[in-house]
Amino acid sequence: GDSVTQMEGPVTLSEEAFLTINCTYTATGYPSLFWYVQYPGEGLQLLLKATKADDKGSNKGFEATYRKETTSFHLEKGSVQVSDSAVYFCALSDLAGNNRKLIWGLGTSLAVNP
Amino acid sequence: NAGVTQTPKFQVLKTGQSMTLQCAQDMNHNSMYWYRQDPGMGLRLIYYSASEGTTDKGEVPNGYNVSRLNKREFSLRLESAAPSQTSVYFCASSVGTSGNTIYFGEGSWLTVV
């Protein structure tokens, strides 16, 4: 079945460092891919998404490119801030974008130190 | 800007007790969901309601019941709590069940002893 694999955390970085959180997937067909973020004490919120191969999602300085050839959707940010400390979840849905069948990664915790 | 509101935020139950988690959204969304989040397991869908008046099982429905009270409210009931139901529960909503952003509540931490 479909699955999502994220790099394990926690990831600890200094402010202004470059961030990469790896996400790879297995899926039949062409899923949509998402990154959600969970700040401390809050619910998850959509960070960015991509719906087809080579699409790049971007938001708040974060980017991720849908790579079909490597089945990856790695999250990157050029210069992290303390306020980026959160848990990041990669997820995929089927071609129809079926919310009932979202497949979630386990989450990667990021801590950014000043 | 309330969004999705769920209560209570924290609850400790004894095995066999019952309780209801309440959820309400003010975004006029048609679809609502209940998830549980466990270490090493990721998010798993318990039940969802595609639209007012309908509910369906998700991936892990056993031990739970739900009620879509109206378009705004979707409650999750544990009839006889078990330690295996210790988890963080998230309510969420979206415009529809396909291709729409899901909005989450802040979570409810439930411990069953």
Residue B17 in 3-state DSSP?
Answer: coil
What is the reported pLDDT for B113? 96
Distance from the Cα of B113 to chain A's closest Cα (Å) equals 23
Cα angle B12-B14-B15, degrees, rounded to a multiple of 5: 130
Asked whether the predicted pLDDT for residue B75 surpasses 70, the reply is yes
Does A42 sit within 8 Å of B43, measured CB to CB?
A: no
Report the C-alpha gap between B51 and A14 in whole angstroms: 45
- Tokens found for residue A66: 């849908």
CB contact residues (below 8 A), chain A span 31-90, against chain B? 32, 41-46, 49, 89
Find the CB nearest B42 among A46, A98, A107: A107
What is the reported pLDDT for B42? 81
Residue type, A86: A
- pLDDT tens-digit profile, chain A (114 residues): 888 999 888 999 999 999 999 999 998 878 899 999 999 888 899 999 998 899 999 999 999 999 999 999 999 999 999 999 999 999 998 766 677 778 899 999 999 999
What is the reported pLDDT for A29? 79
* Cβ–Cβ < 8 Å for B102, B33: yes
Report the C-alpha gap between B91 and B111 in whole angstroms: 17
Residue type, B69: L
Which chain A residues have a beta carbon less than 8 Å from that of B42?
89, 104-107
CB contact residues (below 8 A), chain B span 4-63, against chain A? 4, 31, 33, 40-45, 48, 50, 56, 58
pLDDT, tens digit, for every residue of B5-46?
A: 999 999 999 999 999 999 999 999 999 999 999 987 789 999
For residues B48-66, average pLDDT: 94
Shortest CA distance from A8: residue in chain B:
B40
What is the reported pLDDT for B100? 80
Give the model's confidence band at B93: pLDDT under 50 very low, under 70 low, under 90 confident, else very high.
very high
Which chain A residues have a beta carbon less than 8 Å from that of B55?
none
What is the reported pLDDT for B26? 96
Kindly report the average pLDDT of chain B as a whole number: 93
